[in-house]
């Protein structure tokens, strides 16, 4: 009996799993780098929106509005082909995803900082702490806990949106899948892209569960969940 | 003659058009316990907040131990190290244990190392009868316990003056007693306290002076016996009798 086409197509996927895993590695690295860049820029940006004033605050707000109002696909094409910020597709994708994520993370942290009761800052000031010290020691630790659910959401979005790096030829998961299919070596489009989808799902699932754990671990006893 | 510990000299404060304090003056000596009473909106809390400059005054002067605290050059953080505050809504640091609440200021403001701060923290929690709750978080404590932690937090900084902003107003009636008891102990120890409160039992038994504030002005200021038994101003009498009826059964 000849092998079923279905079987042979899955065999093709299994045979190329090592390539898909390399692509998965790139996706994970790109996600981590983008989230990190987004945090490093987004957290201070959120703080400036809450506590800052003057031109700095306006500049940060404007940058956020522009970044949130531009499709990620446009940002990444603009950075790579328009501005050629880097010859490295990975670096360009990190900047694009990181900037966009910073714009959204700033709003997560802004909301979290604003949700901490005014009395907390006042009590810290009344003990004799300076404004910055009070924000750092009393408001920020509480705000970070409250930002976990929003951050969880953002993490998932960035992870999936790394697939957009396909347009600048970065060898992340989707690009690897596409290459396997377009190389003409197989017609197993459904099998390949189902596998790619499954990998994305596993990654987001694991990430969400890990952040659930962080949420539980850092929640304040007797009080709100983190 | 030594300086009074706290002196308010013709203090004015307004929020826009609304005049909140209109020429408030009084003095208190070290060891005094002054209780401020007055109708809602009379400026009691504002007056208290002006002393540690959580609120800035528009005119007049406030002196602490001879130093002008309302001078623009005064370092507010240095001032606040010397003036503890207990809040109506407790304002305990939600992410820290009872001990953490008491020690944060010691470590960040006084620069104490962790061990020394802990030791001092335990002492003050013991003082308010909460040594066994040192590791509890604010959300795990009753209102009365929260306020006692709030008092321990203020005390730990070893302030020259303790401000109490309606410390029992947010408490269920059955929890008021434990907080008042702690305040009574502090008064007996000679801690200088400026207290905004309508706990008449405390005012009668622990206060050196009662200050009756109405519409941003001190209407009457004197020892509790005089104010309660023989008020000089008609408004004081009216207010006190209204208070007696609403607080009946206390």
Q: What is the pLDDT of residue A186?
A: 72
Asked if residues B123 and B104 have their Cβ atoms less than 8 Å apart, the reply is no
The answer to whether B80 contacts A123, with C-beta atoms less than 8 Å apart, is no
Same domain, B3 and B71: yes
For chain B, give the mean pLDDT. 94
* Phi/psi of residue A136, nearest 5 degrees: -70, -45
| Mean pLDDT across A94-104 | 98
Answer whether B135 touches A (CB < 8 Å).
no
The region of weakest confidence among A8-17, A36-45, A143-152, B150-159 is A8-17
Whether residues B100 and B133 share a domain: the answer is yes
* Domain identity same for B204 and B126: no
Domain co-membership, B13 together with B65? yes
Condensed to tens digits (0 to 9), the pLDDT of residues A25-62 reads 999 999 999 999 999 999 999 999 999 999 999 999 99
Boundaries of domain holding B147: 94-158
- Residue B67 domain flag: yes
At which of B158, B177, B209 does a domain end? B158
B149 and B137 within one domain: yes
Q: Which of B158, B181, B204 is the last residue of a domain?
A: B158
Asked if residue B5 belongs to a domain, the reply is: yes
Question: pLDDT tens across A174-199, in order?
Answer: 999 999 888 767 778 899 999 999 99
Residue A156 lies in a domain: yes
Q: Are residues B19 and B35 in the same domain?
A: yes
> What per-residue confidence (pLDDT) applies to A8?
61
- Is B120's pLDDT higher than 90? yes
Number of domains chain B is built from: 2
> What band does B250 get if pLDDT is binned at 50, 70 and 90?
very low
Which residue among B78, B94, B157 sits closest to A127, beta carbon to beta carbon?
B157
Instruction: Compute the average pLDDT of residues B110-130.
Output: 96
Q: Are B212 and B34 in contact (CB under 8 A)?
A: no
B94 pLDDT band (50/70/90 cuts)? very high
Considering the domain architecture, whether residues B123 and B232 belong to the same structural domain is answered as no
B22 in contact with chain A, both atoms CB, cutoff 8 A: no
Does residue B124 have a pLDDT over 60? yes
Neighboring chain A residues of B104 at a CB cutoff of 8 Å: 124, 127, 137-138
Q: Would you say residue B88 lies in a domain?
A: no
Give A132-151 pLDDT, tens digit per residue.
Answer: 999 999 999 999 999 999 99
Q: Is the Cβ pair B91, A122 closer than 8 Å?
A: yes
Arithmetic mean of pLDDT, B172-196 = 95
CATH number at residue A181: 1.10.3720.10
B106 to chain A: closest CA residue = A127
B175 and B54 within one domain: yes
Cα A170 to Cα A86: distance, rounded to the nearest angstrom = 13
Residue B1 pLDDT > 70, yes or no?
Answer: no
The CATH number linked to B194 is 3.40.50.300
pLDDT tier at B249, thresholds 50, 70, 90: very low
* Alpha carbon of B84: minimum distance to chain A alpha carbons (Å): 7
Question: Which of A127, A141, A224 lies nearest to residue B105, judging by beta carbons?
Answer: A127
pLDDT greater than 60 at residue B57: yes
Structural domain includes residue B87 = no
Could you tell me if B37 and B103 lie in one domain? no
Residue A189, Cβ neighbours under 10 Å: how many? 14
Region B84-103 average pLDDT: 97
Compare all CA atoms of chain A with the CA of B78 and give the residue at the minimum distance: A128
Expressed as residue numbers, the domain containing A17 is 5-217
Among A124, A130, A220, the residue with its CB nearest the CB of B139 is A220
Stated pTM of the model: 0.89
Has residue A223 been placed in a domain?
A: no
Residue B145 maps to a domain: yes
Whether residue B75 is contained in a domain is answered as yes
End-of-domain residue from the set B134, B158, B182: B158
Domain count for chain A:
1
Residue A210 near residue A155, CB atoms below 8 Å: no
Is A226 within the bounds of a domain? no
State the first-to-last Cα distance of chain A, in angstroms, to the nearest integer.
59
């Amino acid at each position: 009996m000849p092998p079923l086409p279905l079987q042979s197509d899955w065999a093709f996927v299994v045979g190329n799993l090592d390539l898909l895993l390399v692509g998965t590695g790139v996706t994970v690295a790109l996600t981590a780098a983008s989230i990190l860049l987004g945090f490093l820029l987004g957290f201070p940006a959120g703080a400036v929106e809450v506590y800052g004033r003057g031109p700095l605050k306006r500049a940060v707000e404007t940058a956020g509005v522009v970044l949130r109002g531009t499709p990620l696909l446009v940002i990444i094409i603009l950075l790579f082909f328009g501005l050629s910020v880097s010859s490295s597709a990975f670096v360009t994708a990190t900047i694009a995803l990181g900037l966009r994520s910073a714009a959204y993370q700033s709003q997560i942290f802004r909301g979290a900082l604003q949700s901490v009761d005014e009395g907390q800052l006042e009590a810290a000031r009344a003990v004799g702490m300076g404004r910055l010290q009070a924000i750092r020691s009393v408001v920020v630790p509480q705000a970070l806990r409250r930002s976990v659910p929003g951050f969880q959401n953002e993490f998932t979005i960035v992870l999936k949106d790394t697939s957009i790096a396909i347009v600048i030829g970065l060898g992340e998961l989707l690009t690897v899948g596409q290459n396997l299919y377009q190389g003409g070596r197989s017609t197993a489009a459904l099998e390949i892209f189902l596998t790619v989808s499954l990998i994305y799902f596993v990654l987001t699932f694991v990430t969400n569960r890990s952040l659930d754990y962080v949420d539980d671990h850092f929640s304040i006893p007797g009080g709100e969940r983190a | 003659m030594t300086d009074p510990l706290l002196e308010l000299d013709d203090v004015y404060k307004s929020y826009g058009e609304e005049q909140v304090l209109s020429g408030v003056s009084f003095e208190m000596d070290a060891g005094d316990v002054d209780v401020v009473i007055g109708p809602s909106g009379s400026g009691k809390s504002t007056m208290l907040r002006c002393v540690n400059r959580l609120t800035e005054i528009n005119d007049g002067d406030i002196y602490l131990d001879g130093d002008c605290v309302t001078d623009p050059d005064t370092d507010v953080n240095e001032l606040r190290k010397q003036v503890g505050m207990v809040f109506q809504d407790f304002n305990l640091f939600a992410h820290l244990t009872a001990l953490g609440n008491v020690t944060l200021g010691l470590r960040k403001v006084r620069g104490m190392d962790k061990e020394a701060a802990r030791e001092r923290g335990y002492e003050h929690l013991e003082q308010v009868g909460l040594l066994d709750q040192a590791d509890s978080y604010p959300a795990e404590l009753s209102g009365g316990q929260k306020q006692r932690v709030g008092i321990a937090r203020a005390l730990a900084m070893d302030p020259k003056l303790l401000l109490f902003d309606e410390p029992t107003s947010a408490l269920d009636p059955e929890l008021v007693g434990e907080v008042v008891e702690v305040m009574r102990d502090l008064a007996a120890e000679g801690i200088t306290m400026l207290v905004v409160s309508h706990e008449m039992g405390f005012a009668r038994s622990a206060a050196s002076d009662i200050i009756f504030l109405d519409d941003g002005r001190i209407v009457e200021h004197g020892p509790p016996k005089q104010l309660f038994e023989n008020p000089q101003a008609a408004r004081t009498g009216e207010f006190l009798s209204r208070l007696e009826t609403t607080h009946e059964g206390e």
